[in-house]
Structure 1
Amino acid sequence: MIKKEEIANLKAQGILAQKQDGYFSVRILSRAGNFTAEQLSDLAKLSKKYGNGYLGATTRLAIEIPWIKYEDIESLKESLKEANLDYGGTGKKVRPLVACKGTVCQHGIYDTQKLCGELHDKYFAYDLPSKTKITLVGCPNNCAKANTNDIGIVGQVYVKFNEDKCKNCGLCTKPCRQKSVQIIDKKLVWNKEECVNCGKCAEVCPFGAMEVDKEGLAIYLGGRMGRGYRFGDRLANLYQENEIEQLIQNIFDTYEQLANSGERISKVLERIGIETFEKELLKKACKNI
């Protein structure tokens, strides 16, 4: 019988007890959701050697090898180290970071995997009052549901409409899935309230009537899923990629300052409100200028 203390210790390393006695799933980390071909080949071999010959993908873009016998755990850990693979991903700390494929996706506004990789290198497993999940998406399609994470980062393109330049050709209406630009009575009408800031209209306008005003990243705080979901609150500003690393640090510092023991960011915001949190966050930002 494996002691509860040992099971808890292994869980903290990303080695999770299965419901089948004596067996464990070992969670191997990706970097921004990516593995090299060599790493995947090594994982396949290790799953055959130590497990039942298959791999499982997690919702946070890690890979799990299930059906590992307790007595094989140390040997597997050594084999993973030799293959330059890391394991982990649980506890009161930053969990594996997730990025959509905005780097290569035609809708991607910024290089999601580059930024995610940089944040992973600096902040993965960072100790905090509770588990903290960070997800980056490249555009308002929000495929990875960034605003249901503790910190969500979403690419945005703000546009502006110059009515004097508009020829009312309707080209900009075709890529607008929100129907925020429409031809009504032979005249282009832009409903700014319906716009989600994807920038597609500005991409196709040949006359400069719809043009990019500002590009950047929107930040959402306090989202969560599971037992009681919550959509995150958006910070007021639009941020640039080179500002994100320091912003994340400021968010962590503010979170640690305001949180009670065990509180996720969502619970902090429910208790004090986004306005109070953002006010303290701005104080941190001013100190770090």
Structure 2
Amino acid sequence: MNHDINITKLKLNCFRQSKVPGEFMLQMRVPGGLIDAKYISVIQEIAEKWGNGTFHIGMRQTLNAPGIKYENIDAVNSFIQQYIKDIEIDLCNADMESNSAGYPTIGARNITSCIGNSHCIKANVNTWELARKLEKEIFPSHYHIKMSISGCPNDCGKGHFNDFGIIGVTKPIYLKDRCIGCGRCVKVCEHSATRVLKLVNNRIEKDTCCCVGCGECVEACPASAWVRPEQKLYRVILGGRTGKQYPRMGKMFLNWVTEDVVVAVIKNWQTFSANVLHHKPIYIHGGHLIDRAGYQKFKEIILDGVKLNPEAQVAQRILWAETEYRANINVKPLSQHPSSGEPYTPKSSNE
């Protein structure tokens, strides 16, 4: 392999190294996972002209072209200049220029989302529209962040395994004069949600404490006695991640917040990252950054200047549960401390 190739620089340029020396894979960003079909021809031409004739739909909804030779990277970057302008600048309003150098960074990962309420009957919010609004707040930036948006608490976007998982929720309105007392909403809540509804004298009573805002009752009702309000609300899941050493599922950070709150919170992410990393961006999961700072410090910075809506709830404390793998398991059993041999419980990331 040519040792003069700067792999780190190419990675920032959204090219991933291949096992084949001198070959790379382009990752074209698709914020929110939805673009006009005409752009499929862009990845097709790249794959057929400079790649190996295939393209891969990336795990973060990017359009990837493997098999690109190092000597063709400049030509590919020049070719995608118009695509970057169309998507990042014109569509997402990102504060950047489009030129023949290609993507300026890969720090903030492509925001993923399910199709949302532009198609899905269960979705409470328009996911890809929100993804495009948030894209301009995090890209371009060298500070690492992974974000996913789901239209309902089914969380098809796997927000529970991202730095930020944003989930559309709703507070359905019950119009009792329309209710025919069939009990279908009660049954669907028992089967699919949190069993907060019951039928009393042919009318519905609701225990609001445990409603997760899924909106299943709205879909189940044949008389439209349950309706979604016009106001869109969100739940924000924090600190989830996959990984070899410390995988964990995220926990609820915010609940019943408006889109304005979500956008304002994400605007503060770069400030928080710079604070923890002393203005020196490195590749590190958002969850690890939060662990370094402590949850209370994170909350202080990330909510700075954010005006919470009246319904909003904020977690006062988060206790994450994670799997902790240790390299010396052949020396000491996992039930013993690796140095003292005393009974040992792996430490969770608390605040």
TM-score by length of 1: 0.81
Q: What is the aligned partner in structure 2 of residue 248 from structure 1?
A: 266
CA distance in 2, matches of 1:158, 1:132: 29
Of 186, 190, 199, the residue aligned with 2:215 is: 199
CA distance in 2, matches of 1:199, 1:231: 24
For structure 1, the residue ranges without an aligned partner over 5 or more in a row are none
Of 306, 323, 344, the residue aligned with 1:285 is: 306
Distance 1:253 1:82, change over 3 A: closer
Q: What is the aligned partner in structure 2 of residue 105 from structure 1?
A: 120
Number of aligned residue pairs: give it: 283
**Conserved? CA contact 1:157–1:213, under 8 Å:** no
**Conserved? CA contact 2:138–2:270, under 8 Å:** no
Q: C-alpha deviations, 1:140-195, integer Å up to 9, x for none?
A: 11001112111111111134779999764202134431261566898867565664
CA distance in 2, matches of 1:156, 1:217: 5
Q: What is the aligned partner in structure 2 of residue 133 from structure 1?
A: 146
Of 151, 154, 157, the residue aligned with 2:164 is: 151
Return the offset for 1:77.
1.8
Of 218, 240, 258, the residue aligned with 1:223 is: 240
Q: What is the aligned partner in structure 1 of residue 256 from structure 2?
A: 238
Return the offset for 1:281.
3.3
State the superposition RMSD in angstroms. Answer: 3.4
Distance 1:280 1:223, change over 3 A: same
CA distance in 2, matches of 1:61, 1:206: 38
Q: C-alpha deviations, 1:73-108, integer Å up to 9, x for none?
A: 2122222225557864965x3111111100321112
What secondary structure sits across from 2:240 in the alignment? coil
**Conserved? CA contact 1:157–1:212, under 8 Å:** yes
TM-score by length of 2: 0.68
CA distance in 1, matches of 2:178, 2:57: 50
**Conserved? CA contact 1:29–1:89, under 8 Å:** no
What secondary structure sits across from 1:285 in the alignment? coil
Distance 1:224 1:115, change over 3 A: same
Q: What is the aligned partner in structure 2 of residue 54 from structure 1?
A: 54
Return the offset for 1:26.
1.2
Higher helix proportion (structure 1 or 2): 1
CA distance in 2, matches of 1:116, 1:38: 20
CA distance in 1, matches of 2:170, 2:35: 30
Distance 1:167 1:284, change over 3 A: same
What amino acid does structure 2 have at the position aligned with 1:270? D
Q: Percent identity?
A: 25
CA distance in 2, matches of 1:284, 1:217: 19
Q: C-alpha deviations, 1:199-258, integer Å up to 9, x for none?
A: 231452748589869750111221111222222232244221233322211243234334
